[in-house]
């Protein structure tokens, strides 16, 4: 099984990967080497490590796909990136296939996802294609009170719900419902609110719900206390009391759990859009005819188009999305403890692993 350690990279809990197996220098044509500032720990990483989610690279494999850092070496054609602070997209498309050229780069069949298709970011350095890198304006970053490691989570936790919101067409006056307000869902709430929607947040954690009320959730529902059909009844009552639309709800399933997916599907109403953002290996039983009867739609959302990254980052730097209250940094050499805590649901914020403990 994939393991997690430290020299150039963390691959196996306990032992460092040999340098010969992961020397990122020199970069090839169109490639750069990024000195990692921080790499976020995603639910997907836990799925790879604990749950048998399939990855595409042969072992050994370094996990980690939420990466920010600085370009320290550049191959032919990528020299202009040298010295730049960047965010590495969680999904790097080829840019030239039919899918890419038709605006579907996130499902490019030649895509390179760090920690899946190529070596990932739980490392001191990573070699990646320069294509799609998102530049980070360090003056604006400092003005926002953030460090380069902090914006690593933009690579997935922010941009993925950002694309989902755009794809579903969230607009001013809408009702948006976010199921699961963890590392991704908390940003989904903020994004939907920034787009002008009234947002309802559902979760099992009352502490997270109370906090989310300060960051854009107009109504919070603890699904341990309000269950089954009563969830939809509570939302419907809130809608009627506040003159909100009773149809066309925008529902975002961000929990990545079977229970969350079932709850989100059961909230469908006329003209609703269900965006599946979280991932789980679990299966659920549902009645597809609900989509027909409500003339609703269900959308998948894999990553985010690289061209959307700058606008998502702008929302962070402009203060429309708050990062600091939802992240915590740990030295990379604490990766074992962090993975264990994340898997046991003991973390209240999204963990960012920092090589050498820089900035922690």
pLDDT tens per residue across span 137-193 = 999 999 999 999 999 999 999 999 999 999 999 999 999 999 999 999 999 999 999
Return the CA Rg of the chain: 20
> Average pLDDT in the 9-20 region?
43
Beta strands in the chain (DSSP E): 31-40, 66-74, 85-88, 125-129, 134-135, 175-179, 198-203, 217-222, 250-253, 273-276, 297-300, 327-331, 350-354
Question: Which ranges of the chain would DSSP assign to H, the alpha helix?
Answer: 43-50, 98-101, 138-143, 159-168, 185-194, 206-212, 229-241, 258-266, 289-293, 309-317, 335-343
> Residue 131: CA atoms inside 13 Å, Cβ hemisphere, count?
17
CB 279 within 8 A of CB 43: yes
Q: Which CATH class is domain 159-300?
A: alpha beta
Q: Provide the pairing of β-strand 66-74 with 327-331.
A: unpaired
The terminus-to-terminus CA distance of the chain in angstroms comes to: 29
pLDDT band of 23, cuts 50, 70, 90: low
Structure tokens at 239: 């809608």
Decide if pLDDT at 60 tops 50: yes
pLDDT in tens, 105-149: 999 999 999 999 999 999 999 999 999 999 999 999 999 999 999
Q: Which CATH class is domain 19-156+304-357?
A: alpha beta
CB 99 within 8 A of CB 109: yes
Residues 6+ apart with CB under 8 A from 6: 16, 123, 124, 332, 333, 335
pLDDT in tens, 27-52: 999 999 999 999 999 988 998 888 88
For residue 262, the Cα-to-chain-centroid distance in whole angstroms is 21
pLDDT in tens, 275-331: 999 998 899 999 999 999 999 999 999 999 999 999 999 999 999 999 999 999 999
pTM of the predicted structure, to 2 decimals: 0.92
CB 50 within 8 A of CB 44: no
Domain boundaries, the chain: 19-156+304-357, 159-300
What per-residue confidence (pLDDT) applies to 24?
A: 64
């Amino acid at each position: 099984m994939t393991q997690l350690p430290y020299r150039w990279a963390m691959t196996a809990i306990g032992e460092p990967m040999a340098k010969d197996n992961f020397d990122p220098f020199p970069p090839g044509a169109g490639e750069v080497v990024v000195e990692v500032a921080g790499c976020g720990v995603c639910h997907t990483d836990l799925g790879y490590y604990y749950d048998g989610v399939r990855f595409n690279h042969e072992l050994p494999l370094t996990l980690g796909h939420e990466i920010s850092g600085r370009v320290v070496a550049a191959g032919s054609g990528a020299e202009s990136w040298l010295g730049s602070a960047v965010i590495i997209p969680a999904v790097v498309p080829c840019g030239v296939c039919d899918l890419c050229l038709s605006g579907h780069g996130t499902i490019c069949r030649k895509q390179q996802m760090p920690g899946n298709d190529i070596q990932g970011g739980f490392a001191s350095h990573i070699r990646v294609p320069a294509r799609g890198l998102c530049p980070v304006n360090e003056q604006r970053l400092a003005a926002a009170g953030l460090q380069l490691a902090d914006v690593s989570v933009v690579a997935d936790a922010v941009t993925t719900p950002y694309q989902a919101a755009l794809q579903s067409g969230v607009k001013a006056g809408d009702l948006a419902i976010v199921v699961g307000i963890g590392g991704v869902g908390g940003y989904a709430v903020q994004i939907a609110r920034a787009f002008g929607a009234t947002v309802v947040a559902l979760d099992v954690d009352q502490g997270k719900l109370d906090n989310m009320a300060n960051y854009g959730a107009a109504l919070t529902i603890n699904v341990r206390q309000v269950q089954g059909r009563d969830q939809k009844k509570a939302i419907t009552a809130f809608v009627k009391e506040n003159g909100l639309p009773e149809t066309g709800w925008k529902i975002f399933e961000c929990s990545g759990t079977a229970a969350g997916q079932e709850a989100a599907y059961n909230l469908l109403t006329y003209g609703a859009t269900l965006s599946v953002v979280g991932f789980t290996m679990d299966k659920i039983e549902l009645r597809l005819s609900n989509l027909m009867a409500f003339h609703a739609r269900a959308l998948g959302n894999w990553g985010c188009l690289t061209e959307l990254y700058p606008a998502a980052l702008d929302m962070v730097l402009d203060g429309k999305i708050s990062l600091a209250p939802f992240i915590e940094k740990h030295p990379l050499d604490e990766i074992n403890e962090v993975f264990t805590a994340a898997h046991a649901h003991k973390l209240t914020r999204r963990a960012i692993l920092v090589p050498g403990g820089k900035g922690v």
